[in-house]
């Protein structure tokens, strides 16, 4: 047989090309060939998992008449309708009864639900009402002006039609609980499956923390998970309400991402978005402090990642922003315009806000001097350094504000011991906030009050866990818990609704977000101050490991660096000394 080698060669090349195209398509590298290059596309870096409900919280019918075989919906499904006509739940309405059912998916997630229906005799679409809830009470709520339930930022209460013998995917919110009600009279809804669609970034938890105190371990993990949920298309502050890039709120989140995940695209993407939509002299999110947080985030991000190429992309904007900030002073005191804001609980203390903003100006100019030195801007670095030194000569009144006291201690305006003793430690964690609680913990660490900080973490952030939380909340007050039912229960008569009865400012009642990234502070704090990891040289080329065990017998964990993961274990000896074992990757120098 005679071969035509040019033809064979061409045929082989075509086959190889086709196989390569199939491989690239399977790997998600390009659109199928039927799409031409004119299509504008953007790939989503998230994945989705389908979760079966862990329990049925409530049904409208306890007799088995209008809600039949609800337990079938706790069985693992396939997401596919079929013709077997078995193992489904039936909701049956009449002129009076409109049956409903509430599912608990076990943990807060971001996403929606998938509904698989069977084949009742009436083949017309069925109208149902779907309500997502971060608590049982929110899933049971009405949108009204009484308890504050809303559809702000994400639809969580709406009516849809579901098909006969088919599938429907709906929803894009933060939730743990879902209520489904049959709306029309004299209809039958056969539910084969109701599964949660969990959307998230499939990324490794490179950082870890484990100690002799399981409560602290749970708090560390909960803070990490709270931020993970908010790492969606951008880095949000909340997955139900506040699905926005709030730059100030990002700082605790970025510190947690550095601690748990290492470098992630969502950070730069969100920082750049805030920069690009905020031409100077505008303030990010309309808040002067948030533009300062942008500078501080870049300082801390560069310190951890050492990405000079990315930092240089900020150079022009950074230098101009620092000039703008230095213009906003009067007699070496901050004189910032825009919205003057630290956090919500401090918003009615103007003297405290002034003290906090002044401290932030000093911190930001100090950070600006560091960054400008790295970016070969010596004149701007000297200008920032001098301005910070001049502003440090003025020490404003803390006015009883724990937020201001924390920032002033961190800026070096007052001794941390004074800030802690006179303001922050008063009443232990009373008047803490989930956002600025991180900086209060930082100030307590600077004052060497590790025991006080650990106790606040256990009682304040642990108090949310005691109320059934699986993520940390937008705000919290331990006073709310005195007579409250947890979020995973129907609220009994005579008990307070921890979600529906409390809150203030923009987070009143059920509008309150129960998954807010700014509340994750204990995660990075425990790694830095208990496990003892601090970055000395940019890119983690040099780190210091210095444990502060407090009342702990041992602690171990890992810390992600651009050069690999550092492994650490500390054990308290009988004489009170600490034995440390550290395994660092090549290129990471460890100081003790």
Token digits of residue 203: 């990324």
In whole angstroms, what is the distance from residue 126 CA to residue 483 CA? Answer: 41
pTM of the predicted model over 0.75 = yes
Number of residues written out for the chain: 592
pLDDT score at 142: 94
pLDDT score at 33: 86
Phi, psi of 415 (to 5 degrees): -60, 140
For residues 139-163, one letter each, b for 16 or more C-beta atoms within 10 angstroms of the residue's C-beta and e for the rest, the string is bbbeeeeebbbbeebbebbeeeebe
Higher pLDDT, 473 or 20: 473
pLDDT score at 41: 86
Q: What is the pLDDT of residues 239-273, one digit of tens each?
A: 999 999 999 999 999 999 999 999 999 999 999 99
Count CB atoms within 10 A of the CB of residue 455.
17
Q: Collapse the DSSP code of 469 into the 3-class scheme (helix H, G, I; strand E, B; otherwise coil) and give the result.
A: coil
In whole angstroms, what is the distance from residue 505 CA to residue 347 CA? Answer: 9
Token digits of residue 247: 């730059």
Half-sphere exposure of 169 (CA within 13 A, CB side): 12
In whole angstroms, what is the distance from residue 242 CA to residue 512 CA? Answer: 10
What is the torsion angle, in degrees rounded to the nearest 10, for the CA atoms of residue 179, residue 182, residue 183 and residue 187? 180
Sign of CA dihedral 121, 126, 132, 138: negative
Q: Collapse the DSSP code of 385 into the 3-class scheme (helix H, G, I; strand E, B; otherwise coil) and give the result.
A: helix
For residues 534-563, one letter each, b for 16 or more C-beta atoms within 10 angstroms of the residue's C-beta and e for the rest, the string is ebeebbbeebebebbbbebebbbbbbbbbe
Whether 5 shows a pLDDT value over 70: the answer reads: no
pLDDT score at 354: 98
Strands (E), 184-322: 188-200, 208-211
Nearest to 359 by CA among 342, 337, 338: 342
- For the chain, the domains span 47-200, 544-591
pLDDT score at 35: 87
pLDDT score at 29: 54
Residues 6+ apart with CB under 8 A from 205: 224, 260, 261
- Average pLDDT in the 9-20 region? 47
Count CB atoms within 10 A of the CB of residue 331.
8
Half-sphere exposure of 160 (CA within 13 A, CB side): 17
Task: For Cα atoms 176, 178, 181, give the angle at the middle one, nearest 5 degrees.
Answer: 170
Q: How far is CA 184 from CA 155, 238, 320, in A?
A: 21, 34, 61
With bands split at pLDDT 50, 70 and 90, how would you rate the model's confidence at 31?
confident
Q: What is the pLDDT of residues 537-567, one digit of tens each?
A: 999 999 999 999 999 999 999 999 999 999 9
Whether 377 shows a pLDDT value over 70: the answer reads: yes
Whether 19 shows a pLDDT value over 60: the answer reads: no
Strands (E), 377-490: 484-485
Whether 12 shows a pLDDT value over 70: the answer reads: no
Half-sphere exposure of 289 (CA within 13 A, CB side): 21
Whether 17 shows a pLDDT value over 70: the answer reads: no
Taking domain 47-200, whether its CATH number is 2.60.120.260 is answered by yes
In whole angstroms, what is the distance from residue 509 CA to residue 480 CA? Answer: 12
Q: What is the pLDDT of residues 260-310, one digit of tens each?
A: 999 999 999 999 999 999 999 999 999 999 999 999 999 999 999 999 999
pLDDT score at 327: 98
Whether 25 shows a pLDDT value over 50: the answer reads: no
Rounded to an integer, what is the distance from CA 555 to the centroid of its chain? Answer: 25
Whether 426 shows a pLDDT value over 60: the answer reads: yes
Whether 506 shows a pLDDT value over 80: the answer reads: yes
Secondary structure letter of residue 492 according to DSSP: P
- Average pLDDT in the 482-493 region? 98
Peptide linkage before 281 cis (omega within 30 of 0):
yes
- Average pLDDT in the 382-397 region? 98
Q: What is the pLDDT of residues 66-87, one digit of tens each?
A: 999 999 999 999 999 999 999 9
Per-chain mean pLDDT for the chain: 94
With bands split at pLDDT 50, 70 and 90, how would you rate the model's confidence at 89?
very high
Report the share of the chain in percent with pLDDT over 90. Answer: 91
């Amino acid at each position: 047989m005679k071969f035509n080698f040019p033809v064979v060669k061409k045929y082989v090349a075509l086959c190889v090309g086709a196989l390569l195209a199939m491989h690239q398509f399977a790997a998600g590298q390009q659109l199928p060939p039927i799409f031409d290059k004119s299509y504008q596309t953007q790939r989503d870096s998230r994945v989705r998992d389908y979760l079966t409900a862990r329990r049925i919280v409530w049904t409208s019918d306890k007799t088995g008449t209008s809600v039949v075989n609800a337990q079938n919906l706790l069985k693992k499904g396939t997401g596919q309708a079929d013709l077997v006509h078995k193992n489904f739940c039936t909701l049956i309405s009449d002129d009076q009864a409109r049956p409903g059912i509430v599912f608990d998916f076990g943990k807060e997630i971001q996403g929606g639900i998938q509904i698989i229906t069977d084949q009742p005799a009436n083949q017309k679409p069925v109208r149902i009402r779907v309500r997502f809830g971060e608590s049982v009470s929110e899933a049971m709520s009405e949108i009204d002006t009484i308890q504050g339930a809303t559809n702000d930022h994400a639809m969580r209460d709406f009516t849809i039609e579901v098909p006969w013998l088919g599938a429907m995917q709906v929803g894009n919110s933060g939730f743990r609980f879902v209520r489904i009600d049959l709306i029309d009279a004299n209809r039958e809804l056969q539910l084969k499956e109701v599964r949660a669609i969990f959307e998230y970034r499939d990324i490794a938890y490179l950082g870890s923390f484990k100690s002799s105190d399981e409560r602290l371990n749970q708090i560390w993990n909960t803070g990490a998970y709270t931020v993970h949920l908010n790492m969606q298309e951008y880095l949000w502050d909340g997955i139900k309400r506040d699905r926005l890039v709030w730059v100030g709120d990002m700082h605790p989140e970025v510190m947690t991402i550095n601690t748990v995940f290492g470098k992630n695209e969502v950070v730069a993407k969100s920082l750049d978005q805030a920069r690009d939509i905020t031409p100077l002299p505008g303030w990010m999110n309309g808040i002067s402090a948030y533009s300062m947080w942008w500078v501080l985030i870049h300082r801390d991000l560069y310190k951890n990642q050492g990405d000079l190429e990315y930092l240089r992309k900020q150079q022009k904007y950074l230098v101009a922003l620092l000039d703008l900030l230095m213009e906003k002073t009067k007699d070496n005191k901050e004189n910032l315009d825009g919205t003057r804001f630290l956090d919500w609980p401090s918003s009615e203390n103007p003297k405290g806000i002034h003290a906090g903003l002044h401290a932030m100006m000093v911190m930001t100019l100090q950070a600006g001097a560091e960054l400008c030195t790295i970016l070969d801007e010596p004149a701007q670095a000297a200008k920032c350094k001098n301005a910070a030194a001049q502003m440090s000569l003025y020490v404003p009144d803390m006015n009883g504000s724990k937020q201001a006291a924390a920032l002033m201690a961190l800026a070096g305006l007052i001794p941390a011991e004074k800030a802690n003793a006179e303001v922050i430690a008063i009443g232990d964690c009373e008047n803490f906030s989930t956002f600025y609680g991180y900086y209060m913990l930082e100030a307590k660490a600077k004052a060497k009050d590790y025991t006080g900080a650990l106790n606040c973490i256990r009682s304040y952030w642990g108090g949310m866990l005691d109320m059934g939380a699986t993520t940390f909340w937008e705000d919290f007050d331990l006073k709310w818990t005195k007579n409250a039912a947890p979020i995973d229960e129907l609220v009994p008569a005579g008990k307070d609704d921890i979600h529906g009865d409390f809150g203030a400012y923009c987070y009143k009642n059920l509008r309150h977000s129960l998954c807010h990234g700014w509340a994750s502070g204990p995660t990075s704090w425990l790694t830095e101050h208990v496990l003892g990891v601090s970055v000395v040289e940019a890119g983690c080329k040099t780190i210091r490991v210095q444990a502060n065990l407090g009342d702990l017998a041992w602690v171990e964990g890992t810390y992600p660096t651009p050069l690999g993961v550092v492994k650490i274990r500390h054990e308290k000896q009988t004489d009170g000394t600490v034995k440390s074992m550290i395994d660092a990757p090549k290129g990471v120098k460890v100081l003790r």
